Amino acid sequence: MKVLAVNGSPRKNGNTADMLKAVLDVCEKAGLETELYQAGGLPLRACLACEKCFSNPGKCVTQDWIQELYGKMKAADALILGSPTYYGDLTPEIKAVMDRCGYLSLSEGGVMKRKVGAAVTAVRRAGGLHTLDSMQHFFLIQGMIVPGSTYWNMSLSLEPGDFAKDEEGVGTMLNLGDNIVWLLQKINS
């Protein structure tokens, strides 16, 4: 079973990346295959709403990293989206991934259905819940199954390295990883 995490922060080694690594580490220790995809900072093309994917299912007219990432999403059993909170919401990289991969999935009859989906966010102070909601809307409209943790999946962090100092945030990620493993094992038993 494979768990794919997407880091929507332009900081490759920032808090969102560290949060995702903490979750993936739990999954790896349980014997799952994992991959961390660095989306933040890549050149961005939004969905054009051309709907050409419906006549050519699974293929976007824009052939870039989001098309590549869509292939990885299809092959994964669980998808974790990670975004820092920017002005109370997610980064444009994650929004573009959701819009374009969401339509590509629809064009193929809903390939994300019943995969496991989880979102995490790094936030200095406020707006994190809205960021999580924005990502969870994607999972829910795709018919995905969303596990929880012991708090909402956020860490209170500003500068790189802050996540490790947020004891409750670290615990939340470890419990999230544990719940993802549990759920995947139940679904596939």
Ligand X SMILES: Cc1cc2nc3c(=O)[nH]c(=O)nc-3n(C[C@H](O)[C@H](O)[C@H](O)COP(=O)(O)O)c2cc1C
How many C-beta atoms lie closer than 10 Å to residue 95's C-beta? 19
Q: Does residue 57 touch ligand X according to CB under 6 A?
A: no
Q: Does residue 92 touch ligand X according to CB under 6 A?
A: no
Burial of 168 (0-12, 13-18, 19+ CB in 10 A): exposed
Mask for 8-27, x = binds ligand X (CB under 6 A): -x-x--xxx-----------
Using DSSP, state whether 118 is helix, strand or coil: strand
Q: Does residue 122 touch ligand X according to CB under 6 A?
A: yes
Q: Does residue 169 touch ligand X according to CB under 6 A?
A: no
From 123, 111, 4, 136, select the one nearest 59 (Cα to Cα). Answer: 111
- Binders of ligand X among residues 66 to 85 (CB under 6 A) are 84-85
Name residue 156's beta-bridge partners.
123
Closer CB to ligand X, residue 122 or residue 184?
122
> Which residue stretch of 47-55, 60-68, 105-113, 154-162 sits at the interface with ligand X (rule: CB under 6 A)?
154-162
From 5, 6, 18, 40, select the one nearest 180 (Cα to Cα). Answer: 5
Q: Does residue 41 touch ligand X according to CB under 6 A?
A: no
- The one-letter code for the residue type at 50 is C
* Distance of alpha carbon 16 from alpha carbon 8, whole angstroms: 8
Structure tokens at 61: 């007219």
Closer CB to ligand X, residue 2 or residue 11?
11
Closer CB to ligand X, residue 38 or residue 105?
38
Please give the residue ranges that form the binding site for ligand X (CB under 6 A).
Answer: 9, 11, 14-16, 84-88, 122-127, 157-158, 160
